[in-house]
Each structure stands twice: as structure tokens, then as C-alpha cells.
A and B are shown apart, each in its own frame.
Chain A
Amino acid sequence: MSAILERFTNELLPGNGHWPSASEIQVSSTMQKFAERDSQQQVMLAQLLDFLEMHNETAAVAAALEMKDPDLFSFAKVLAFEAYYTSPKVRDVIAQRSRYANRPPQPAGFQVVPHAVTPWNQDAILWRSDGTERSEIVLKMQQKDPNKTWTVEEIRQWQP
């Protein structure tokens, strides 16, 4: 049973000179482990295995499944990709081939390029009056002094 699942996952994730194939990192057994967390996934995995067994002689079984049962294929692909891309070995490859570090997002987080571009349109008031007197008054005040620092107390006075 594992052999047919392994063949299927290798069709999805065949590997190349840099990337391991699915079978090299035991994606099929990880998929079976993941499916144990949820009864619905167990049922779908069983359906997948049934399909693969029935089509054991089919050369391109992944394409056959995608055509005949897109929902089951989607389930299988997500589970296989989840098993593959959470593998430490694959995360190592990603770290080697990009600027992404092989670690969870926390606790270190990531440096992000700071805010250093100034909006071009700082002085043009762009919102539209709602037709009320209050709108007209506030629009005029903002146009007169676009950079004024407003206090909550001043804003409270706008209440009708």
C-alpha cells in the first residue's frame, strides 16, 4: 500500500538536483500520520488508496486522479505538499536557495524594510462630502490646514 502512495507522491514532487523527491523524505508515511489527526482525512486517505490500488497499472496515476476526481486529488495534493514543505530537509533546501531562514517565524521574527517613501499627495483632500453641514465644515478645516494635529476632544465636537 505504501509503495503505490509513494509512487503517486513522486509524480507530484519528483525532485531534481537540488530538491529531494517525495519518497526520499518519506512523504507518504508523513501523509498517513497527518491524516490520523482527523477522521474526515482518514476517510479521504482511504479513498485515495483505493483509487491508487485500482489504477495500479496506470502510468500517470496523478493525472488520472486529477481528471476523474478533482476533489480527492486536491485533498491528496494538499496533504502531500504539507508533508513535503514541513520536512526539515526541504526547509534546509529552501534556506540554502533563498534568503528565508529555516526556522519558525517566532520568536525571532524578520527584519522588514522600514517606511521610507513619502506619499506624493499629502495636501490634496480626496474624500467626498456626504452632503451634511458637518462634512462641509470639516472639509474646509482640513483644506485650510492639512497637517493640523487633531485632538480627540476636538473630534468629539463633530458629533451632530
Chain B
Amino acid sequence: MTVLHDEVNVLVVGAGAAGAAFTWRLASLGVEVTCLEQGEWQRPESSLTALKNWESKRISERSPNPNIRRNPADYPILDDTSIIKPAIYNGVGGSTILWSAHTPRFRPSDFRVKSLDGVGADWPITYWDLAEYYEINDEIMGTSGLHGDPGNPPRAPRTTPPVPLGIAGSRIAKALNELKWHWWPSDGNILTQDRGSRRACNGCGPCEMGCATGARASVDITYWPEALALGAELRTGATVRRVLSDAAGKATGVEWVDITGQEHITHANIVVMAGNGIGTPRILLNSASKEHPRGIGNSSDQLGRNLMLHPIPVVTGVFDEDVESWSGNDAFALLIQEFYENDDTRDFKRGYEMQVTRGQGPLVTALGGFSLDVPWGTDHHDVFEQYFGRVATVAVTCEDLPHPNNKVTIDSTVTDRFGIPAARMWYELEENSKRMITHGVKSATDLLLKAGARETYAKPFAPAAGFHLMGTARMGNDPRESFVDQACRSHDVPNLLVIDGSVFASAAAVNPTPTLQAVALRAADLLREDALV
């Protein structure tokens, strides 16, 4: 078959949170930029929450696990070597298509964990390098919240007021006031008032199935329309096999295949990877050559290593009265950072945040929700009635420390539909995480009991929660210990950038998306400032 060739200036791989932000920023600076995305646009009707069988869809074609969902654009991720399973989406918008849009920021100390607390690795940049970009991102994504959180550096006023606390959230907020633990209404990319074509959130519940009102942001409705209006090009159904390099080791473009099987080579001056913490190392490891025998840019052997996922223990409290736990945006109402910073009196390093979740429908409740045990058989119906609508879950996001053996590799024994080797996840809990989990479960249990729960049920970690994918091409000053520099450029291949969560040197204990978008925006500015495009 004839291979089709073309040439572009800047080529971005992946149209998710990071790729969209980067593309928009470069396009707004007048740079010619093209993005390849293996999935497709989501049709407006793809929000499935208006269907009678919406809960069926939730556990099948809208499963966050690509190995269950198995859409045409999904690639296999072998996960029998990982206790936490992958949760990603492939399409325009990436995993923002099915995220819950909780958007706390990293704190300043999160960028300096080695210097401050002697663990993990420092970033070569600080919070203050990203502060402006967090603001730009908040504005474009649209951010609800409440100004003035004393737990974080100041930020500009939020786009709309915070999401409602709900019945259980209000009870827990009062309990937090009694305990005198830090809490604050969460920042989220969910609008509580109309903004342009996006309608205010109507509290329907299952955000991760796609938002019918547009209240919950995803980058296909925020960054991408603006980027395309500025002249950026987006090619969908474009699955990248590998990044190509020349005899000098420089990236020259990518080899990709379209949905008909037609092979392409797109030559580019700059190649930018934005395929998430699994997809990016998969492609780069698949790009081995004579000049880059361990994968392109991988002389340090750091590519794919240091996978950080956030272990998330969950504790569910059962209340006597109906707290309507099926209503409200699903993943957050308020943020608790009482145990966020390092405390040397504890038996673990670093810390965790807690958030109140909700939005569980009948089927998910019957299957056990986040941490319940609903028996089958004679007792099933009585137990279901005791739980349905009467529960609140506190999710504990634990900071994960980097470990070289928690990693992403490639496995050529399994391939995708185009013969591209699969990714394999290797992940187990470290001792520090286990001790932190024990502390977090106790805190969440104490809180729920204080809020009036009559009983609680805990799971030490949520196995399905592999949605925060970080560290597999990390940023650093030392080329022996990191994959990219402070500008997100490969130490080995300066015209190859990585701009997604792969570059995180530390995981913090919060959702990573606003931080990775801020990193991507900054990388675009630096590329322009350094006259590389």
C-alpha cells in the first residue's frame, strides 16, 4: 500500500485535556498547529443520561475502562499486573469526556516534595510558574467555586458559585465545622449558571456519562471550538504508530494509520505528545530505532517508569433518613485538606485530601456502590432499601510517590486493530501508601459518624480508579533522572515535547487535570518565546 506523506509545522498527538489546551494556545499565538486524534468527535446525543437504560450504558459502552468498553478507538491496556485498572477515554476531548470535573490545584509544596519532605522528586518549576496558566485555564473551562479558600494560594473569582452541597454534603460540612477540620466548597469545571451555549448544572448525577446540558466542561466544547476558529487543524480517526527520527536522533514526524487502514507519514518540525500517562509512553516506547534503542528519547530509561495513580480508599456512611444520594454532580461537593501537608508525627510521608461524592443510581447501588456489600438472595431487597438514597461516600485521594517498578511497558503479544503493541500497567501499593490509606480511612470514618451516619463501610482502595495517570515521562533538571526538561522538551530530542500528566514529577493528592492543562499552556508559550515555532 502507498504511504501518504504530508508536512506540518507543529504536530500534536492526542486531543484531550492537554492537547487541546496546547493547540489552542499555539493557535492563538499565530502558530500553525495540527493535532492527530485516534478517536472521533462525540455527538451531542452521546450523553446517555436521558435514556431509560442509562445505567446499563454506564457499566458497558460508557465504562471508563477501555478493556470493558472496547470502542474502536480504544487500544488494549494489559492490567493483570496492576491492582488499579485503567480509566481513560479516546476521542476528541480525551478523558474529559467522562471525567467528573473536580479541579483542585496542586499546592506550592507539591512541586518541592524532595526538598521539603525528603521523598519523591522535585519539579524543576514551582507553583508560581503555573499560577497565571491555572487562571487562563479556569476561565476557558469555566470554573465554579467560592473565592477565598484559606487552604490554597489566592486565585481570581470563580466563574460561577459552587455546586450545591446537597443534604449529605450539608451534614458533613456541619460535622467538619464541629471537628474544626479544613474544608471548602470544591472548585469544579461545572457551571452553576448559564454561560453562552452551556446551561447550568441541573444536578442530574452521573457526570461521567457525558453532560447533556454542557454544564460540565469537556475540552471538545471549551478549547477545541476556539482552537479550530483560530485556524488549528484537527484530524480524527488518526492512530499514531510511532514517532519517527533521523540519523541524528531528531524527531521528524509520526507514522499513523487512518480508520480505513491507509498508512500516513506526517513530517513535522516539532512533535508534541499528549496521549496521557499510558498512551504517551506506549507510543514513545514503540518508537525505538537504531538511534533510540530503548524508545525515542529514552537514554535515561525513565520512560514509562514512576507511574503514579493516586490510591483512593473510599468510606461510605449509611444514614437513617433519605439524603437523596442519587442527586447532584457525582464526584464532589466539598474539599477537605486537613491532612494534606506533610506531618512528621504521622507514620507516612506527605498527605491526602478527602471529597464527598454522590450520584449513585439504583443499579450501581445494588452492585455495591463504592464500598457497600449488598448481598444477593433473600436479604437483597431489604438491604437495598436500607442503602438506596441513604448513603454518602467520602473518597480519600492519597498522594502517590514515584517508584521505578510502577510503570507502563509495551507488550507485543497483544496488539490493537492496527497491529500496534499494547500497553501494560505494572502497579502495586507502596508501604507509605498503605499507611496513608489506614489513616485516611479512619479520618473519613470519624467524619461520617460525626455527620450522623449510623454505620460505615470502607474499601482500602478503589480498583477502578485508574484515572489519574502521572509520572511516566517525568520532568526534571537531570537528564539521567527525568525524560523532559522544565519546558516539557525531551532531554535527548529537543524537538519532541511531552505535555500531559506523564511529565508530573510528583502526584500531589488532588486531581491532576487543571495542573496538566496549565503545564501544557506554559509549554506552548515557552515554545513561542524561544522562537522554536
Which residues of A come within 8 Å of B, CB atoms? 11-16, 18-19, 34, 37-38, 62, 77-78, 81-82, 84-86, 88, 90-91, 94, 97-100, 104-132, 134-135, 138, 141-142, 146-152, 155-156, 158-160
Q: Verify A38–B376 contact, CB threshold 8 A.
A: no
Task: Write out the residue numbers on chain A whose beta carbons fall within 8 Å of the beta carbon of B59.
Answer: 78, 82
Is there a chain A Cβ closer than 8 Å to B119's Cβ? no
The answer to whether B153 and A142 touch across the interface, beta carbons within 8 angstroms, is yes
- Minimum CB–CB distance for B78 against chain A, Å: 16
Q: State the Cβ distance, B320 to closest chain A Cβ, in Å.
A: 14
A132 in complex: contacting residue of B128, B176, B182, B201, CB < 8 Å = B128
Asked whether A130 and B129 contact (CB < 8 A) given A100-B362, A117-B177, A138-B153, the answer is no
Chain A residues whose C-beta falls within 8 Å of the C-beta of B151 in the assembled complex: 126-127
Which residues of chain A are near B381, meaning CB under 8 Å? Answer: 13, 15-16, 18-19
Give residues 321-376 of B contacting A (CB, 8 Å).
322, 324, 326-328, 337, 341, 361-363, 366-367, 376
Q: Are B164 and A105 in contact (CB under 8 A)?
A: no
Residues of B within 8 A of A134 (CB): 126, 128
The chain B residue with its CB closest to the CB of A107 is B50
- Say whether B154 contacts A142, CB under 8 Å: yes
Is the beta-carbon distance between A12 and B377 smaller than 8 angstroms? Answer: yes
Q: Return the chain B residue nearest A10 by Cβ.
A: B377
Complex Cα gap A116–B152 (Å) = 22
Main secondary structure of the interface of A (DSSP, over half): loop
**In-complex Cβ contact of B155 among A13, A105, A155, A159 (8 A):** A155
Q: A-contacting residues of B (Cβ < 8 Å)?
A: 47, 49-56, 59-60, 107-109, 111-112, 115-116, 126-129, 131-132, 135-136, 139, 146-148, 150-157, 161-167, 169-170, 173-174, 176-177, 180, 182-185, 201-206, 212-213, 322, 324, 326-328, 337, 341, 361-363, 366-367, 376-378, 380-382, 385, 388-389
Contact A109–B202 (Cβ < 8 Å)? yes
The 8 Å CB contact of B166, one of A34, A113, A125, is A113
B366 to chain A, nearest CB (A): 5
27 contacts between A and B (CB under 8 A): A11-B376, A11-B377, A82-B55, A82-B59, A98-B385, A99-B322, A100-B324, A104-B49, A105-B54, A109-B213, A111-B327, A113-B164, A113-B170, A115-B162, A119-B173, A119-B183, A121-B180, A128-B109, A130-B111, A130-B126, A130-B127, A141-B154, A146-B148, A148-B154, A155-B156, A158-B132, A160-B126
Tell me, in angstroms, the Cα distance from A23 to B130 when the chains sit together.
59
Q: How far is the CA of A121 from the CA of B55 in the complex (A)?
A: 39
Give CA–CA (A94, B361) in the complex, Å.
Answer: 11
- The answer to whether A150 and B155 touch (CB under 8 A), given A86-B55, A130-B116, is yes
In the bound complex, what is the Cα–Cα distance between A107 and B177 (angstroms)? Answer: 35
Question: With A120-B177, A156-B132 in contact, do A113 and B378 touch (Cβ < 8 Å)?
Answer: no
Contacts A34-B56, A78-B59, A81-B366: A152 and B128 contacting too (C-beta < 8 A)?
no
A76 to B131, CA, bound (A): 50
In the complex the two chains form, is A85's CB within 8 Å of B165's CB? Answer: no
A residues less than 8 Å from B52 (CB atoms): 86, 88, 104
Q: A125-B150, A126-B151, A126-B337 are in contact. List 15 more A-B contacts (CB 8 A).
A: A82-B56, A85-B362, A86-B56, A90-B362, A98-B322, A99-B389, A104-B51, A111-B203, A129-B108, A130-B109, A135-B128, A155-B155, A156-B132, A158-B132, A159-B131
